[in-house]
């Protein structure tokens, strides 16, 4: 036990001696959390739009007016022909084009139906769908309005049909605040990146510098060695995590509906998995450069296949299976469930237990893979 204690002390001294690293370890997560939390959003602010109005009537002008009134669209250009459409889209000058054809008003008056064309730049996917639904709802509202006000030719008034009264409700995040969703995710990402990098690089560095041999000739056991490498980073990561939670609560006001102790329980288990994995990488690579690339690869897979940014449900089946083995996925799911939805141990107990078991497994792997003797 004393051996481990001294080694832990040595690691701490080593970390805190290197001012630049300490600076990086604490500053990078804090700054990025503060800045990037504002950026991680699919919200569509205001869409630059071009209207091609070949009709030029009061009805078509009314439509343009409704579009602008909704604040979601900014009509940047109002043209009589569609000559400039291609260029405006190509140049990213506008994201959406509404094309109102000739005889728009006439068709509505005579037939009660008239087409308009909506062209969207779908280069950025998700946005295009949202913009489309904005535009469609404005069109629907305007149709309903015209139905009441526009004098119609030849078409007999039909019986009033009562519209469908659909009440929608969004659970857990009614104000559609992206930060509630993304801040926990970013916190996890940053803790993971820092923790994994530091551990993955650690043993390889001792190996490269030759100090590993010095440790190897001491009487300490493999388990003591790995434990001594794990504990300092585990504590550091927990501190970073706590800072992140505090920022999330104080700066971004993320909800904490569930029990914080559960979050910490999960964090403790999760960090063992991540750091153990880092140590394992550190034992299998020869140079720091290699260690970094493997760590980078693992981090990429962890982050991009965890549901942090894009939902796991959208992935193909095989990727969902892979994601099941991803500790980040489970940890983020637990965090979001407890913080945002207020879930208790009965729902998140199993993933936490899974993380704990995985942690022990990874540690065992690192211990067996670590060789005290030089081949």
Partner 1 sequence: MRPFLGFVRKETLHLLRDRQTLGILLLFPVLQVLIFGFAVRTDVEDIAIAIVDPTPDVATLELRERIAASDRFHVAAVSTSARGLDARFRDGSVRQALLLPTEVERRIGRGDSLQLQLVTDGSDPNTGGIMQGYATAILDRWYREVVPQGGTLRIEARSRMRYNPTLESAHLFVPGLVAFVLTIVSALMTAISIAREKETGTMEMLLVSPIRPTAIVAGKVIPYIVLGFVSVLLVLVAARTVFEVPLRGNVVLLLAVSGLYIITALALGIVISTKAPNQRTAMIAALAGLMLPTMILSGFIFPIDSLPRPLQLLSYIVPARWFLVIVRGIMLKGAGLATLWQETLVLVGMTLLFLARGSRGLAIRLG
Q: Taking CB under 8 A as the criterion, which residues in 196-255 touch partner 1?
A: 197-198, 201, 205
Q: Decide if residue 373 touches partner 1 (CB under 8 A).
A: no
Residues 166-195 that bind partner 1 (CB under 8 A): 166-174, 176-178, 180-181, 186, 189-190, 193-194
Residue of 51, 52, 67, 135 interacting with partner 1 (CB under 8 A): 135
The minimum distance between CB 21 and partner 1, in angstroms, equals: 6
**Tokens 């001792």, residue located:** 206
The minimum distance between CB 176 and partner 1, in angstroms, equals: 4
159's CB contacts (< 8 A; 6+ apart) are none
**Range in contact with partner 1 (rule: CB under 8 A) among 129-137, 244-252, 269-277, 360-368:** 129-137
**Range in contact with partner 1 (rule: CB under 8 A) among 44-52, 69-77, 228-236, 353-361:** 44-52
The residue among 28 and 231 lying less far from partner 1, judged by its C-beta, is 28
Q: Decide if residue 16 touches partner 1 (CB under 8 A).
A: no
168's CB contacts (< 8 A; 6+ apart) are none
Tell me how far apart the alpha carbons of residues 370 and 368 are, in angstroms, rounded to a whole number. 5
Residue of 72, 121, 237, 282 interacting with partner 1 (CB under 8 A): 121
Site track for partner 1 across 64-103, x = CB under 8 A: -------------------------xxxx--x--------
Residue of 81, 217, 311, 375 interacting with partner 1 (CB under 8 A): 311
Tell me how far apart the alpha carbons of residues 136 and 114 are, in angstroms, rounded to a whole number. 14
The residue among 6 and 309 lying less far from partner 1, judged by its C-beta, is 309
The minimum distance between CB 345 and partner 1, in angstroms, equals: 12
Residue of 61, 75, 76, 128 interacting with partner 1 (CB under 8 A): 128
Phi and psi of 245, rounded to 5°?
Answer: -60, -45
Tell me how far apart the alpha carbons of residues 331 and 173 are, in angstroms, rounded to a whole number. 20
The residue among 212 and 364 lying less far from partner 1, judged by its C-beta, is 212
DSSP string, 33-85: HHHHTTT-------EEEEEEESS-SHHHHHHHHHHHHTSSEEEEEEESSSTTH
Residue of 229, 329, 330, 336 interacting with partner 1 (CB under 8 A): 336
Tell me how far apart the alpha carbons of residues 122 and 132 are, in angstroms, rounded to a whole number. 10
Give the relative orientation of helices 178-209 and 222-250 as an angle to the nearest 10 degrees.
150
The residue among 4 and 285 lying less far from partner 1, judged by its C-beta, is 285
The minimum distance between CB 359 and partner 1, in angstroms, equals: 23
Residue of 273, 340, 352, 366 interacting with partner 1 (CB under 8 A): 340
How many CA atoms lie less than 13 Å away from 165 in the CB half-sphere? 2
38-42 long-range contacts, CB within 8 A, separation 24+: 38/179, 40/178, 40/182, 40/185, 40/186, 40/309, 41/178, 41/182, 42/126, 42/127, 42/130, 42/178
């Amino acid at each position: 036990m004393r051996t481990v204690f001294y080694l832990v002390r040595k690691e701490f001294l080593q970390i805190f001696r290197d001012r630049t690293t300490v600076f990086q370890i604490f500053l990078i997560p804090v700054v990025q959390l503060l800045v990037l939390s504002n950026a991680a959003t699919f919200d569509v602010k205001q869409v630059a739009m071009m209207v091609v109005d070949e009709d030029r009537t009061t009805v078509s002008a009314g439509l343009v007016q409704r579009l602008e009134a909704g604040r979601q669209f900014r009509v940047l250009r109002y043209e009589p022909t569609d000559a400039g459409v291609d260029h405006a889209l190509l140049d990213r000058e506008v994201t959406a084009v509404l094309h109102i054809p000739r005889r728009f008003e006439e068709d509505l008056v005579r037939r009660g139906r008239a087409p308009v064309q909506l062209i969207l730049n779908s280069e950025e996917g998700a946005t295009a769908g949202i913009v489309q639904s904005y535009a469609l709802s404005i069109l629907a509202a305007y149709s309903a309005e015209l139905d009441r006000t526009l004098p119609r030719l030849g078409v007999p008034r039909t019986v009033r049909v009562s519209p469908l009264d659909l009440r929608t409700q969004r659970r857990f995040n009614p104000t559609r605040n992206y930060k509630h969703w993304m801040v926990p995710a970013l916190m996890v990402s940053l803790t993971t990146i820092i923790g994994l990098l530091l551990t993955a690089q650690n043993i390889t560095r001792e190996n490269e510098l030759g100090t590993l041999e010095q440790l190897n000739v001491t009487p300490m056991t493999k388990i003591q060695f790995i434990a001594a490498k794990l504990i300092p980073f585990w504590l550091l990561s927990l501190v970073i995590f706590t800072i992140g939670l505090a920022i999330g609560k104080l700066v971004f006001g993320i909800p904490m509906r569930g029990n914080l102790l559960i979050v910490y329980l999960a964090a403790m288990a999760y960090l063992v998995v991540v750091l153990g994995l880092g140590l394992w990488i550190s034992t299998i690579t020869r140079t720091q450069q290699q260690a970094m690339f493997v760590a980078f690869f693992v981090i990429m897979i962890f982050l991009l296949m965890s549901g942090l940014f894009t939902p796991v449900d959208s992935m193909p089946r095989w990727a969902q299976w892979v994601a099941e083995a991803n500790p980040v996925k489970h940890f983020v799911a637990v965090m979001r469930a407890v913080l945002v939805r207020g879930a208790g141990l009965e729902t998140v107990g199993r993933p936490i237990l899974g993380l704990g078991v995985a942690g022990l497994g990874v540690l065992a792997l690192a211990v067996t893979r670590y060789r005290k003797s030089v081949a």
